């Protein structure tokens, strides 16, 4: 380690005094102007992680669905997964070290993790379309270079594309070619093969309106479009040519406001979808003949996918163990449908992609989705081999089903939830099954629900268990929630401290919207009273802005990822 050079370059990416940040569920995220030093240091950390794992490590510069002025960074581990938890702690320590302590922290990490500093390092870098992203990714490169790491800068990429690149590079190209072209070819080939087998053709099934949140998804989908145009025609909206990133559009806006994005004309029964700002989330929606808006969220996407996979397995005659992973936010109707009608086992984990991904790896086939539209399906290596064999050896109908499954496996991005890949999977399934968007929506009816936020002095006084469905502290809170829930039919409620904002989140569902609203309000009051509420007491009724789950991630001082020490 050339400590002299590190000190010299670090001074060019100086840390603002007193700024403290935390590597949260989605890496570091805050106002772009506070991130230069973090980027440089994440370049350094990526080199250490690469040396330790003897693998390529990814660094993605993005703040996903946050406002355009924000930015963020996250590291991608060797198999395309999120950074290991112990390294999240190193990331936080390194980002917060004052200039004079930087060297010591770097040496500490290297020693603790037994990093062989002589080992070669390779880092790949991607960025979204934010105005600040290019300069910030240059700071990452400075960090990589000063520690002697090699790098490849992919430039503009969706987050899941960067995860894909890392996965490809660390599996000797078995997963695919580590180029944007390779990604387009792999997915499109599988998609075109699948849709060729669809018996129903015609425009109704094959055209789709896509809201790209004025982000990177538009650029990449436009590049990719001609590869799969035989199977699907996409019409892009909010493609970044005029609007602001994530402003009044995108998956997060549509999901949290339960209304269509601005800038998209929707005729009744037209199939539409929205990506988020870095294209790792997707939700679908349509207007019915009466002009009512219907949202099809991650829960319904998981249901469509797992039902289809299960049907294929039955057809092939394989009894593989398939599981669906959700979080506490999954609508109760979806869980009931999966367990009781589909007879698919459902598991619940804590919020945050890494928890779902990890759980899904336990199955032959693990399908995971958060209600907000982030998810994918994972297939064990043994399953992939078995299906490949079946596609060659079986006869007729069984062979056809095995071939379909083989293509579906190729169409999923198994490194991370991916809006483009999920969209193509969904479109293929709808075409193959001849389902309209309304028929898909009619699989089950969502229970009315409400989400609220409560301000408390210190949200850490709330701790939870049972995948965030029960509060352990403060004393009396869970008992209060239990008593409130008993008052309503088909009801459920939970509270959890947010991982991205300085608030406590409240979720309630019940047999009617009125009951869900009442229950959410009463639970908010219990949180306010028992967990040290501050400011105005929660009022009955709700303001649109308060209902959003994870909508406003602008981190002012004192919020989850950033606070300033005096
Ligand atoms: C992050 C997570 C997302 C989760 C959300 C919850 C990743 C890549 N993203 O955006 O999965 O739904 O946080 O936010 O893990 P909350 O803790 O503020 O409710
Ligand atoms: Mg995202």
Most ligand 1 atoms within 8 A of CB, residue of 23, 24, 26 to mutate: 26
* Cα 26 to ligand 2 centroid, rounded to whole Å: 9
Ligand 1 nearest atom to the CA of residue 501, by list position? 18
* Cα 493 to ligand 2 centroid, rounded to whole Å: 26
- Could you tell me which residues are annotated as the binding site? 64, 276, 278, 280, 370-372, 496-500, 505
**pLDDT digits over 48-91, tens only?**
999 999 999 999 999 999 999 999 999 999 999 999 999 999 99
Residue 500 CB less than 6 A away from ligand 1:
yes
For 276, 344, 409, the CA distances from 421, given in Å and listed in that order, are 14, 23, 11
Ligand 1 nearest atom to the CA of residue 280, by list position? 8
Give this prediction's pTM: 0.93
Output the residue whose Cα is nearest ligand 1's atom 4: 352
Residue 263 CB less than 6 A away from ligand 1:
no
- Residue 490: partners with Cβ closer than 8 Å, 6 or more residues away: 332, 447, 509, 510, 511
* Cα 441 to ligand 2 centroid, rounded to whole Å: 24
Handedness of CA 45, 51, 52, 58 (dihedral sign): positive
- Residue 449: partners with Cβ closer than 8 Å, 6 or more residues away: 331, 507, 508, 509, 510, 516
Per-residue confidence (pLDDT) for residue 353, from 0 to 100:
92
Distance CA 252, CA 70 (A): 16
Ligand number nearest CA of 553 is 1
Active site residue 64: yes
Residue 252 CB less than 6 A away from ligand 1:
no
- Residue 228: partners with Cβ closer than 8 Å, 6 or more residues away: 187, 188, 191, 192, 424
**pLDDT digits over 459-506, tens only?**
999 999 999 999 999 999 999 999 999 999 999 999 999 988 889 999
**pLDDT digits over 195-229, tens only?**
988 865 554 558 999 999 999 999 999 999 999 98
Ligand 1 nearest atom to the CA of residue 497, by list position? 17
* Cα 281 to ligand 2 centroid, rounded to whole Å: 6
Q: Kindly tell me if the per-residue pLDDT of 563 is higher than 70.
A: no
Structure tokens at 159: 């987050």
Work out whether strand 122-127 and strand 56-61 pair parallel, antiparallel, or are unpaired: parallel
Q: Kindly tell me if the per-residue pLDDT of 547 is higher than 90.
A: no
Distance CA 386, CA 397 (A): 17
Report whether 44 contacts 90 (CB < 8 A): no
Q: Kindly tell me if the per-residue pLDDT of 562 is higher than 70.
A: no
Report whether 256 contacts 262 (CB < 8 A): no
Catalytic residue among 64, 306, 491, 515: 64
- Strand pairing partners for 375? 369
DSSP SS3 for 392: helix
* Cα 352 to ligand 1 centroid, rounded to whole Å: 5
DSSP 82: B
Length of the chain, in residues: 566
Average per-residue pLDDT in the chain? 92
Ligand 1 nearest atom to the CA of residue 500, by list position? 18
For 347, 413, 511, the CA distances from 225, given in Å and listed in that order, are 35, 17, 42
Structure tokens at 121: 């390092």
């Amino acid at each position: 380690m050339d400590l002299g050079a590190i000190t010299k370059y670090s001074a060019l990416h100086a840390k603002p005094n007193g700024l403290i940040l935390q590597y949260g569920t989605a890496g570091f995220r805050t106002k772009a102007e506070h991130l230069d030093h973090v980027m440089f240091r994440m370049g350094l950390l990526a080199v250490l992680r690469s040396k330790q794992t003897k693998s390529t490590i990814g660094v993605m510069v993005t703040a996903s669905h946050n406002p355009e002025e924000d930015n963020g960074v996250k590291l991608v581990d060797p198999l395309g997964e999120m950074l290991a938890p112990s390294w999240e702690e190193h990331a936080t320590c390194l980002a917060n070290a004052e200039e004079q302590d930087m060297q010591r922290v770097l040496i500490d990490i290297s020693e603790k993790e037994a990093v062989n500093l002589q080992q070669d390092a390779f880092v790949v870098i991607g960025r979204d379309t934010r105005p600040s992203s290019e300069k910030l990714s240059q700071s990452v490169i400075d960090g990589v270079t000063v520690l002697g790491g090699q790098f490849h800068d992919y430039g503009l990429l969706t987050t899941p594309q960067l995860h894909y690149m890392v996965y490809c590079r660390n599996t000797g190209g078995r997963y695919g070619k580590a180029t944007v072209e390779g990604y387009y070819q792999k997915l499109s080939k599988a998609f075109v093969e699948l849709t060729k087998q669809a018996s129903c053709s015609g425009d109704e099934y094959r055209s789709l309106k896509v809201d790209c949140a004025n982000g990177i998804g538009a650029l990449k989908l436009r590049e990719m479009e001609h590869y799969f145009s035989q199977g699907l025609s996409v019409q892009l909206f909010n493609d970044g040519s005029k609007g602001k990133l994530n402003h009044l559009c995108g998956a997060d806006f549509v999901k949290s406001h339960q209304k269509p994005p601005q800038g998209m004309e929707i005729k009744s029964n037209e199939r539409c979808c929205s990506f988020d700002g870095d294209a790792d989330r997707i939700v679908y929606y349509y207007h019915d003949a009466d002009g009512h808006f219907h949202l099809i969220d991650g829960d319904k996407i998981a249901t469509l996918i797992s039902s289809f996979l299960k049907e294929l397995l039955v057809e092939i005659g394989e009894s593989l163990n398939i599981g669906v992973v959700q979080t506490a936010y999954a609508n109760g109707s979806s869980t009931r449908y999966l367990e009781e009608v589909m007879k698919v086992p459902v598991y619940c984990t804590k919020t945050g992609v890494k928890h779902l991904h990890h759980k899904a790896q336990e199955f032959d086939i693990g399908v995971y989705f958060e209600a907000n539209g982030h998810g994918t399906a994972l297939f064990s290596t043994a399953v992939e081999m078995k299906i490949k064999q079946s596609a060659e050896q079986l006869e007729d109908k069984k062979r056809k089903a095995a071939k379909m499954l083989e293509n579906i496996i190729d169409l999923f991005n198994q490194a991370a939830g991916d809006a483009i890949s999920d969209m193509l999977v969904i479109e293929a399934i709808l075409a193959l099954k001849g389902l309209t968007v309304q028929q898909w929506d009619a699989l089950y009816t969502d229970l009315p629900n409400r989400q609220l936020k409560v301000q408390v002095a210190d949200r850490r006084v709330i701790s939870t268990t049972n995948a965030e469905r029960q509060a352990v502290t403060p004393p009396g809170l869970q008992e209060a929630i239990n008593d409130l829930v008993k008052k309503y039919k088909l009801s459920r409620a939970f509270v959890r401290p947010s991982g991205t904002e300085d608030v406590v989140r409240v979720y309630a569902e019940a047999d009617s919207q009125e009951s869900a609203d009442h229950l959410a309000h009463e639970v908010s009051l219990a949180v306010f009273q028992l967990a040290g509420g501050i400011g105005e007491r929660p009022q009955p009724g709700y303001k649109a802005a308060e209902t959003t789950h994870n909508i406003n991630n602008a981190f002012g001082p004192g919020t989850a990822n950033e606070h300033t020490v005096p």
